[in-house]
Chain A
Amino acid sequence: MAISFEPNPATVSGRDEMHEIALQHMRPWSRKYDDQEHEMPWEYVNPMWDRATGKAGKTEAGPGDGMVTVCVQTEELCWGDAGLYLRTPSPLLGGSAVAAAGTPAQRERFLSPFRTGKPKWGAMAITEPQAGSDAAAIQTTAVFDEKTNEWVLNGTKIFCTAGDGALEYEGGIVVVWATVDKTAGRAGIKSFVVTAGTPGVKVVGCEKKLGIRASDTATLVLENCRVPADNLLGKAEVKKQDPNQAGDKGFKGAMATFDASRPIVAAMAVGVGRAALDFVKEELTRQGVAIRYDAPPREQTAIERDVIEMEAELQAARLLTWRAAKMLDRGQRNNLEASMAKAKAGLAVTKITQKAVELLGPLGYSKKLLVEKWMRDAKINDIYEGTQQINQLIIARRILDYSSSVLR
């Protein structure tokens, strides 16, 4: 191996294909589904489902490059529209959790429906009204009923991305985090697959948001929601040890999902940032303003300096993202690097899109164009899948070699 920034041919063709989808099936509907919050964007969903189920073309990543390719493709789709991307009929984060913590049989049972039939969605339900970044504080309970061999779930989940679609359409899944033993803290937290149509779970509303309005952000209520015993991902036993010591595999296993999802969220962020930056550069070109990469700084205009800084920030975020993804492809632990990518990308594109609105003046602020929307869409990347601050905390613990009880 050697240091290289050249994507595989398969990655390139996958990227190009996603770019076409972005142009054909996302951009034309961006404004519509920003305005018509929570409506199902079938113009995007149907062609994507055809693709997922093999009715339309599908590219496979090259060996050893799967996660990098996913990130490259994700960037492209979110360059198209980050809100619509979150409506992609796929297992999404629920799938990541099943893939990370499920048995082969569970993966087959929960994920194979996503290759056939009608469009369906997956979701992950972690956050609660009183437990956000502090995921170990979740109150939703799971009690095992030996008579029926079922887990009984009770609680309320908020901020569940794609949760409405996942529960409304047959075959959908929501991975719910719940505690089997409140006295055990993090060790007691397990994840359970709740399938669409399960009695006892209902969507009580969707959030009205700053951005990514096409995406359904659901509030779920679980009332004596019964799922089969083998809908538990991982082991049922609770190891009551020092939560910072090895053995706390349940919670750690669940958290490991983030090692895969954070690079993807970072790639999403980079896609939104690039949409804004590309547009700024195109508009400048239309106005006859060229960015001079070979002019001394004292001759560059303020706009040139801003654009160059935006490019550098975006590229730094992208490369950190690819690095975190590549480590997964190599089977290396990427917990630190995934948080670095996520923290960098979330903040960088927040600033880049805000700057884009500023640079374009009234054009940037107007809803005639999409730049203002991208600024609103971008901000979520600095919040969900671990806020900027939570990722800083993770990074700080790693670089300082501190446990969560020392650096809180």
Chain B
Amino acid sequence: MIDFQPTDEQQLVIDTVRNFAQNEIRPLARECEESAKLPEKVLSAAHELGLVANALPESAGGGGERSAVTGVLVAEELAWGDLAIALAILSPGLSALPIAEWGDGQQQQALARFVGSSFVPGSLAIVEPRFDSDPFRPATSARRDGDDYVLDGAKCFVPWLDGGAETLVVASEGGAAQLFVVPRGATGLRAERERNMGVSALPTAELALSGVRVPASAKLAGADLRRLVAQGRAAMAAMAVGVARAAFEVARDYAKERQVFGVPVATKQAIAFKLADMAIEIDGARLLAWEAAWKLDRGEDATREALLARRQSARVALDVADGAVQVLGGHGYIRDYLPELHLRNARGFASFEALALV
């Protein structure tokens, strides 16, 4: 039956994560952005919530409750707190979720690290530093050489948090995109910390792969790249909605406070209608993200739905964040307020792919 109400369990998760985002993440958003550093304590505390571990299989010590719908609900709430910190919190899933879904018995042993007592980041290298970056047809190549694969190419926007052991690399083998588990210390792999317009607190790397040699067993042979991309797009769509909602709320609250001509500026239709449009678009984009996630949970090809969600939410996040800056006027341009950060972060969703997964 068509329904838009999360389950009681999901509502509990939403409430928990919303509280966490409000009390633990949001207060640090600005400071982390300015210092380009992650709050280690928050990552540990988030790890204790088990957001990623719950989605891993019971056989690996996880909760065995993977659900893309639950994933998008969580992703939106975290991103509402702060996008960079949210991506860091969800980063273990970048390695763990594909390994759990497509890894063989041997490969699955790597999951144990992600369900331990401390936070262990993951990493996925899917975006390439070129204007026509295409997750389905990466320019990075994988060539079989005896018992090994040899990888060549370049990646960017690769989450590269301290303490990570590996990254999953998307590369073309004979024209088909495949996933390889590559140790961070592999010979021929060079990682350089990026500086981007937004999400500054999240350490990301641009990778140069030059004859990187991994054993044949490093390939996740059963990986479904269409599904991986859709999982990434559903996650990013939900996070775009989270960023948009955060910007909208700042603008709404500011507009009710700010006095012009003796009344709150929110009582002017020019502002009030802009806020109304934001609210409509945010809700519409959210439902598209939910639908893509719901399709994923049914095991169906969600390529189209995920693309629609991605495009719509990226546009909405940008429009809403830009509108929020505008509503705050000069204050919107000042880094004392969050909308300028929301605007910089929102622009990224046109380029981000799978910086988180559901």
Contact = CB atoms under 8 A, between A and B. Distances in A.
B269 interface: yes
B288 A323 contact: no
Contacts of A400: 252, 255-256, 266, 272, 275
B1 A6 contact: yes
B288 A407 contact: no
Interface stretch (B93-101, B127-135, B146-154, B196-204): B127-135
Given A5-B294, A293-B304, A400-B252, A316 B4 contact: no
Contacts of A295: 134
Interface in B297-327: 303-304, 307-309, 311-312
A205 interface: no
A1 B7 contact: yes
Interface in B335-358: 350
Given A65-B1, A313-B312, A2 B7 contact: yes
Nearest to B130: A298
B325 to A, nearest CB: 19
A395 B275 CA distance: 9
Interface residues on B, range: 35 or more
A309 interface: yes
B228 to A, nearest CB: 12
Interface string A309-329: 101110111011011001000
A153 to B, nearest CB: 34
Contact of B287 (A65, A68, A323, A343): A323
A294 B226 contact: yes
B2 A5 contact: yes
A399 B275 contact: yes
Nearest to B312: A312
A285 to B, nearest CB: 15
Interface residues of A, number: 50
B118 interface: no
B132 A309 contact: no
Interface string B113-136: 000000000000000000111111
B284 interface: yes
Contacts of B229: 294
Interface string B264-287: 001101001101110111011101
B221 to A, nearest CB: 21
Given A4-B1, A326-B3, A319 B311 contact: no
A1 B288 contact: no
B288 A7 contact: no
A322 B2 contact: yes
Contacts of A311: 304, 308
Name the residue in B255, B284, B288 with the highest tally of chain A Cβ atoms < 10 Å from its Cβ: B284
B5 interface: yes
B290 interface: yes
A1 B133 CA distance: 40
A65 B267 contact: no
Interface in B1-50: 1-7, 10
A407 B280 contact: no
Given A293-B303, A322-B4, A400-B252, A392 B276 contact: yes
A11 B7 contact: no
Contacts of B169: none
A396 B284 contact: no
A3 interface: yes
Contacts of B214: none
Contact of B311 (A65, A294, A308, A396): A308
A149 interface: no
A298 B131 contact: yes
B312 A316 contact: yes
Contact of B1 (A8, A308, A312, A402): A8
A396 B275 contact: yes
Contacts of A399: 252, 275-276, 279
Contacts of B284: 316-317, 319-320, 344
B283 A320 contact: yes
A5 B291 contact: yes
Interface in A297-351: 297-299, 308-309, 311-313, 315-317, 319-320, 322-323, 326, 330, 337, 340, 343-344
Contacts of A297: 350
Name the residue in A389, A399, A406 with the highest tally of chain B Cβ atoms < 10 Å from its Cβ: A399
Contacts of B350: 297
B280 A395 contact: yes
B53 interface: no
Contacts of B303: 293-294
B5 A2 contact: yes
A393 B272 contact: yes
B69 interface: yes
Name the residue in B5, B131, B281 with the highest tally of chain A Cβ atoms < 10 Å from its Cβ: B5
A395 B267 CA distance: 13
Contacts of B288: 312, 315-316, 319
Given A319-B287, A343-B280, A400-B252, A3 B312 contact: no
A64 B295 CA distance: 23
B287 A320 contact: yes
Contact of A323 (B1, B4, B255, B294): B4
Contacts of B132: 296, 298-299
A308 B295 CA distance: 18
A62 interface: yes
Contact of A392 (B266, B277, B294): B277
A296 B5 CA distance: 33
A389 B303 CA distance: 35
A3 B275 contact: no
Contact of B6 (A2, A68, A389): A2
A392 B273 contact: yes
Contacts of B283: 320, 323, 337, 340
Given A316-B287, A396-B273, A293 B307 contact: yes
A298 B131 CA distance: 7
Contacts of B226: 294
Nearest to A400: B266
Given A317-B284, A340-B279, A344-B284, A4 B273 contact: no
B267 A3 contact: no
A296 B312 CA distance: 15
A396 B275 CA distance: 7
Given A5-B2, A5-B291, A5-B294, 7 more contacts: A2-B7, A3-B4, A8-B2, A296-B132, A312-B288, A322-B4, A393-B269
Interface of A: 1-8, 11, 62, 64-65, 68, 293-299, 308-309, 311-313, 315-317, 319-320, 322-323, 326, 330, 337, 340, 343-344, 389, 391-393, 395-397, 399-400, 402, 406-407
12 contacts: A1-B3, A2-B7, A293-B303, A294-B229, A296-B132, A296-B135, A296-B136, A343-B280, A392-B273, A396-B275, A400-B275, A407-B267
7 A-B pairs with least C-beta separation: A316-B284, A319-B287, A396-B272, A395-B276, A296-B134, A312-B308, A312-B312
